[in-house]
Amino acid sequence: MKRALPLLALSVAACGDDAEVAQKALSRAELMSPETCKGCHSRHYQEWSGSMHAYAAEDPVFRAMNRRGQEETQGALGTFCVNCHAPMAVREGATADGLNLDELDASLKGVTCYFCHNVVEVQGSHNAPLRLANDTTLRGGIANPTRNSAHGSKYSKLHDREALESASLCGACHDIVLPSPPAPAPVHLERTFAEWQGTVFNRPPSQGGLTCGGCHMTGRDDVAADVDGVPLRRVHAHTWPGVDRAITDFPERAAQQALIEHELDQTLRFELCVRQLPGVASLHVTLENVAAGHHFPSGAAQDRRVWVEIGAWSGSSLLYESGDVPVTEAVTSDPDPALWLLRDRAIGADGKDAHMFWQVAELEPSTIPGPVSFDPKHPDYFITHLSHRYPAGSELIAGAPDRVSLRVHIEPIGRDVLDDLVQSGHLGAAERDAVERLELLPNRGKASVALEWTPSAAATPPLGFQKTIDAVPAACVTSSVAKAN
């Protein structure tokens, strides 16, 4: 039987005149429903409704992986997945494993308004150790909230993106350590919060720091509630763009796509150099993490696939290419020794690649760290720069390229992982195919590639410049002059 929670039919009225609705204060059960919040907080609701927080318990890939994990561990996973994907369902005792989500009321699925805004304490750094008040007071980032009869309101540094403490609220779920057993080892699988803690951004925003919300919850001047007399404030967007997007019919998909592309397009600086020798050449690519306050890729980096596609031409003749992977194929199956793939390689107890997190015994990270200093003289300044040579080893490209194009692709979850779930019968082929490949395009709308090299572009400052590579002058171009080296 579907578990239902009552809604207040006149919930909108509870945001109005205090005398009229004094006896209509919302109950905890009513506040647990995002639909109730919509009555007074329509824009926040709209933003949340298309976010991955709202989609967390609906995502077919999450459901497929959780179902397979419960089967393969004989239920030992328990609430591990739904602690973050449906935390209210766990806390209300409505699920023990996430296998009955279709039977639950919407107020118990996903990361809801009530769940976040009722947190009063973060009791650890990973696996969702959050303590809720379980009352009818909602916490937020406004220091002097307007009194209302719908619910109690209270300022909380945990909910204020301008307070350093707010990062710990995000980090509680965005940092995952595997339970062992059933996993073969307590691997620190998702490390976004830990990565951020090691960057220059881990300090109060008033001192130049940047919290999770500083990037993923942009600010605007607006009212916090659709009620007469509520003043303009600095409020936070509730969209949380990253790299994941709904793959089924879901609200705000186009808006989320645009936000995701905006975030991705400013994440990296690209540098492309051609080292020309008599009759032969080599290509040298540098990727610099300039905007992510954590590694890139991050989050479920064991599932992410980021790689470089590069092509070199002389006139209409293709001299060299790497990373041109059809969308129906897994990039991990590409035999090219020069392929540049960024991810956390997950390895099982048998030493082979592991696609399912409960099989992971260790990780081999290959991601780009976030900055620890903006001073080029700092010994760790260049940890944000990763470079790669084409072709692999000591091979060289025959000829003299007159055009080289660079593209950077990202799969939020790799085709190889999705294929595994399809083959096991836990995910449909149509759902797999709905997971779209993304691309980083700093000049989106103006250029179809991340960066293009030509002799004339390399000779035109400030984006064109010369540098020495292995004692040979190289002609280079960059996507941004700000941090060219």
Whether pLDDT at 11 is above 60: no
**Binning pLDDT at 50, 70 and 90, where does residue 21 land?**
very low
pLDDT in tens, 65-98: 999 999 999 999 999 999 999 999 999 999 999 9
Which of residues 192, 224, 241 is at a domain's end? 241
Domain shared by 296 and 222, yes or no: no
Domain shared by 52 and 107, yes or no: yes
Whether pLDDT at 2 is above 50: no
In a domain, 392, yes or no: yes
Please give the average per-residue pLDDT across 301-311, as a whole number: 99
Please give the average per-residue pLDDT across 275-289, as a whole number: 98
**Binning pLDDT at 50, 70 and 90, where does residue 481 land?**
low
Domain shared by 234 and 284, yes or no: no
Domain shared by 174 and 41, yes or no: yes
- What pLDDT score does 23 carry? 42
- What pLDDT score does 484 carry? 38
Domain shared by 223 and 277, yes or no: no
Whether pLDDT at 8 is above 90: no
- What pLDDT score does 195 carry? 98
- What pLDDT score does 13 carry? 40
- What pLDDT score does 229 carry? 87
State the residue range of the domain holding 350: 266-478
Q: Residue 237 corresponds to which tokens in the numbers above? A: 């967007």
In a domain, 130, yes or no: yes
Domain shared by 325 and 184, yes or no: no
Which of residues 224, 241, 258 is at a domain's end? 241
Which of residues 241, 276, 295 is at a domain's end? 241
Whether pLDDT at 375 is above 50: yes
pLDDT, the chain, mean:
94
Domain shared by 183 and 319, yes or no: no
Domain shared by 372 and 459, yes or no: yes
Domain shared by 279 and 203, yes or no: no
pLDDT in tens, 421-451: 999 999 999 999 999 999 999 999 999 999 9
Identify the weakest region by mean pLDDT among 224-233, 261-270, 378-387.
224-233
Please give the average per-residue pLDDT across 239-253, as a whole number: 97
Whether pLDDT at 485 is above 70: no
In a domain, 256, yes or no: no
- What pLDDT score does 480 carry? 87
- What pLDDT score does 30 carry? 97
Domain shared by 362 and 472, yes or no: yes
- Per the model's pLDDT, the better-predicted residue between 318 and 22 turns out to be 318
In a domain, 249, yes or no: no
Domain shared by 161 and 237, yes or no: yes
| Count of domains for the chain | 2
Domain shared by 271 and 236, yes or no: no
In a domain, 2, yes or no: no
pLDDT in tens, 346-372: 999 999 999 999 999 999 999 999 999
